[in-house]
Amino acid sequence: MKIAEGIFSVGSVDWDLREFHGYSTPYGTSYNSYLITGEKNILIDTVKPSCTQEFIQKIESILPVGKIDYVISNHAEMDHSGLINWILSRSNATLICSPKGKENLEKHFHAKYERITVVENGQTIKIGPYTYQFFHTPMVHWPDSMCVYLIEKKMLFSNDAFGQHFACSRYFVDEVGLEVILREAKKYYANIVNPYGNSVKKVLSALATLQIDMILPSHGMIWRDQHQIKTILDKYSAWASNQPGKKILIVYETMWGSTKKMAEVCYVEAIKKNIESEQFNLQVNDISDVVAEMPDTKMILLGSSILHGQILPKMAGLIAYLTGLKFANRRAWSFGSYGWAKASFNKFETDIKNAGFDMPYDGFYVQFVPDKSALESLKTQLNSRIFNA
């Protein structure tokens, strides 16, 4: 697919992907690679090895692989670098990457590169008619990450930044709709980039000096409409601030329905107070969809039953996941049902606090099945304290 004169998208669409190391991908994804042709031929990133055939067919429909002169590797993770060695072994291409990229590619492939140019942050290289400027973007989201700005075309090849897991036969955000793509970009940010907000701020500050006519990420749709480019840059700036939104999330896992009853009371009471709320049962919802809502959330209510002296396993997985994702400036409250050991909730509360949440109030726990009076007491606690926190 021609993106601009002499510039092609040659990546692969992974229509069937439904899970990306723990992240649910109901719309699949794409591994975007870009080929800039002319006096010299430059390939930016490759694809996941399982998508080799489509990738090679797309390149070979434009030029033989052996004619590639340079391969820019923006990031060593294998969904983008999986075929770097394949290309290098079938051409005389020179590899261009960051210092950490060199180190990490060598450690992935157990290889030493002879034809390699290691680029410093801000460095420019003139190749053929174009000037390429390299911006290191460490921890957005790996130490080796970088992006490339094609100065004469005002195109930013941003790798994972500004991407979305979204398989589509189209190429541009404006062909699909901003609302749909922003929703997936937010899920991507929350699940992959959120721990690195301070690094994102530094990258945004470096990019602020550039006139950007197109952002070409390594997953999903390309941003080319000026209003939409401004929107995604502003969204990244807002998400990087890790500030709370307005929503309350009610997330639970239940054995025999007692915790579910309590979750439903939480939801109904929140709605009565006109608080925007979402309810997630972890038996049918993926933790990455819970996390996708976190940028818009001010408080999360977490409920579980107790089994073998522990909270249920999907809830334990969510807490571990949230701990790594480092959301800040948000509150939490816990609730649930136990059989004989209420003290089992102590660790639940400690783990939620260790995940970075402020918990000003003790949780609400009921033995076996909540009766009418327990549910009334729950309502009173929600309305007198929790929703006012």
349 is an active site residue: no
CA distance 339 to 352: 21
219 is an active site residue: yes
SS3 state of residue 295: helix
Q: Residue 331 is which amino acid?
A: R
Residue nearest ligand FEO, Cβ-based: 77
Helix axes 197-207, 226-240, angle to 10 degrees: 140
Given the residues 14, 45, 79, 286, the one annotated as active site? 79
Given the residues 113, 188, 189, 338, the one annotated as active site? 188
CA distance 75 to 146: 7
Is residue 276 a contact partner of residue 310, using CB atoms and an 8 Å limit? Answer: no
Minimum CB–partner distance for residue 79 and ligand FEO (Å):
4
Minimum CB–partner distance for residue 30 and ligand FEO (Å):
10
Minimum CB–partner distance for residue 25 and ligand FEO (Å):
12
Structure token pair of residue 15: 């229509």
Return the number of the residue (188 or 267) whose C-beta is nearest ligand FEO.
Answer: 188
Minimum CB–partner distance for residue 314 and ligand FEO (Å):
25
SS3 state of residue 379: helix
CA distance 312 to 61: 52
Return the number of the residue (221 or 301) whose C-beta is nearest ligand FEO.
Answer: 221
Given the residues 31, 34, 75, 184, the one annotated as active site? 75
Helices and strands, number each (H, E), in the chain: 13, 22
75 is an active site residue: yes
Residue 29 per-residue DSSP state: E
Minimum CB–partner distance for residue 267 and ligand FEO (Å):
35
321 is an active site residue: no
CA distance 247 to 325: 18
Facing residues of 125 across strands? 132
Structure-token match 């606690």, residue found = 381
Structure-token match 């260790």, residue found = 354
113 is an active site residue: no
Minimum CB–partner distance for residue 192 and ligand FEO (Å):
7
Given the residues 14, 45, 77, 278, the one annotated as active site? 77
Return the number of the residue (8 or 162) whose C-beta is nearest ligand FEO.
Answer: 162
Return the number of the residue (80 or 261) whose C-beta is nearest ligand FEO.
Answer: 80
Given the residues 23, 130, 219, 236, the one annotated as active site? 219
Pairing, β 297-307 against β 94-97: unpaired
Return the number of the residue (31 or 387) whose C-beta is nearest ligand FEO.
Answer: 31
Footprint of ligand FEO (CB under 6 A): 75, 77, 79-80, 141-142, 160, 218-219
CA distance 68 to 337: 62
Given the residues 21, 110, 227, 308, the one annotated as active site? 21
Is residue 263 a contact partner of residue 279, using CB atoms and an 8 Å limit? Answer: yes
188 is an active site residue: yes
Return the number of the residue (160 or 269) whose C-beta is nearest ligand FEO.
Answer: 160
CA distance 182 to 312: 32
Which residues are marked as active site?
A: 21, 75, 77, 79, 141, 160, 188, 219
